[in-house]
Amino acid sequence: MDEFNDSEIARLLRLKRYEQPPPGYFENFLHEFHRRQRDELLRQPLWRICLERAHSFITRLDVRPLASYPTAAAAVFVCAAIISLKIYQQPETARVALQSPPTLSLPANAEGELNLVAPVSMPILRTQPVRSFHESAQTHRAAPPRYVLDSVPVSYEPTFRF
Amino acid sequence: MIRIIAFEAKMNPSVALPARRISDLLSSGLPARAKSKREAMDHPRTDPDQELVKRTQSGAAAAFDELVIKYTPRLYGLVYNMTSNHEDTNDLLQDIFAKAYKAIRGFRGKSSFYTWIHSIAVNMTLNFLKKRGRRFQLSLDDVDASVQNDKEFLELTATSSPVREADLSELQRRLNEAMMKLSEEHRAVVTMFHIQGMPHAEISKILRVSEGTVRSRLFYANRQLQNYLDEFRKNPVS
């Protein structure tokens, strides 16, 4: 016989079925599998575990039937409604600024009283808002306009009126 | 074909088939065969692991344990005969089942679980072998003593002088060395066909190649094995 024929090669190769792992290998394989799975799970970062859980949840939920045309159209409609509502709720800044007059007028007798009492003539300083009404209305829409009144020195205040 | 038979029967009454047979052929035979084929296509063979797969997909890890227990010996044989290394086989097998467990939720049952897990095993082993290259050592399992009672082994020792003269471990080493000289793809086909006894159709599904490719790979691998084992034939004891 010159060489192994196909049948002999096939029979020789079939003998390799008798090569078997050590006794108890298959019994321990599952325990080893569980141990490796646990180790791998512990090594994973928390975000990856959460991601996998979420992915498995979505897969189990099977959201594909929900992703139909009417659902998509409804989703688009809802988004459009939300966006349009946001646009129409923009603050009306100009009206807020006009409602409160920008200058303050003192009573007619106030100037006279001051002139009588004060030893030195003190010009009445016109009160001005720290910021313009326009600015204020933009930043503090809900609150009323604020002013800072110039203070008058205590010594010049009239203590008694005759 | 029926037309031809009818024509021949007309021309030559001796070839005329009995009326019952012709009617059988016309009424029951062909449509019945076609019907059964159609039914087989409509109701494909159910996967015996379907229930375990469904339970695993619904989160029952114990069901996957059953699949592991069931397929470990078979997949061990597949991977071991492709790597010829026990330690590599153990690591690979763990990775194969871990990958299968992660991917089983996406398994839609287009093929049987058997084919699916074998595909994973073969692909992962082929990738591993490509990375490992030629730098490795044989780490062989012991040959079970019951081989001495195997009918084929007895026949081989009776008819083949090299097998008779070589001791069992020498025969094992020569066989594994010859296997390792094959390319990874050829080794996979030889392992599945000769050692695991899978049919060509199943191998073609697992490897996603045509049956013709499987057959040609087998033919080529057998020729190569003949050459590699020639040295063993000439010199059984080295």
Domain boundaries, chain B: 2-42, 54-141, 146-238
| Span B7-44, pLDDT tens digits | 444 444 444 444 444 444 344 444 444 445 444 444 45
Is residue B161 within 8 A of residue B232, CB to CB? The reply is no
One fold for B54-141 and B146-238: no
Q: Which chain A positions have a beta carbon within 8 Å of B172's beta carbon? A: 16, 19
Question: What whole-number distance in Å separates Cα of residue B62 and Cα of residue A34?
Answer: 11
| pLDDT value, residue B25 | 38
Q: Quote the pTM value.
A: 0.61
Q: Spell out the CATH class of B146-238.
A: mainly alpha
Residues B149-160, mean pLDDT to the nearest whole number: 78
The candidate with the shortest Cα–Cα distance to B116, out of B205, B222, B27, B33, is B205
Q: Is the pLDDT of residue B134 over 80?
A: no
Is residue B130 within 8 A of residue B184, CB to CB? The reply is yes
Residues A63-75, mean pLDDT to the nearest whole number: 72
Q: Which CATH number fits domain B54-141: 1.10.1740.10, 1.10.3720.10, 3.40.50.740, 3.40.190.10?
A: 1.10.1740.10
pLDDT band at residue A46 under the 50/70/90 scheme: confident
Q: Is the pLDDT of residue B188 over 50?
A: yes
Q: Is the pLDDT of residue B122 over 90?
A: yes
| pLDDT value, residue A120 | 53
Q: Give the ipTM of the model, two decimals please.
A: 0.72
Q: Which chain A positions have a beta carbon within 8 Å of B160's beta carbon? A: 1, 4, 8
Q: Which chain A positions have a beta carbon within 8 Å of B93's beta carbon? A: 29
Q: In this prediction, what percent of chain A has a pLDDT beyond 90? A: 9
**A17, A32, A60 ranked by CB distance to B94: nearest:** A32
| pLDDT value, residue A144 | 66
The candidate with the shortest Cα–Cα distance to B111, out of B191, B187, B53, B188, is B53
- Three-class secondary structure of residue A148 per DSSP: coil
| Span A80-130, pLDDT tens digits | 888 888 777 766 555 555 455 555 555 545 444 444 544 555 555 555 555
Residues A14-32, mean pLDDT to the nearest whole number: 91
Other CB atoms within 10 Å distance of the CB of residue B178: 22
For the record, the structure tokens of B26 come out as 């016309």
For the record, the structure tokens of B106 come out as 């996406």
Q: In this prediction, what percent of chain A has a pLDDT beyond 70? A: 47
For the record, the structure tokens of A48 come out as 């990856």
**A9, A21, A33 ranked by CB distance to B222: nearest:** A9
CA of B59: how far to CAs of A31, A60, A65, B65, B92, in Å? 19, 9, 22, 12, 24
pLDDT band at residue A49 under the 50/70/90 scheme: confident
The candidate with the shortest Cα–Cα distance to A127, out of A152, A144, A109, A96, is A152
3-state secondary structure A55-76: HHHHHHHCCHHHCCHHHHHHHH
| pLDDT value, residue A2 | 56
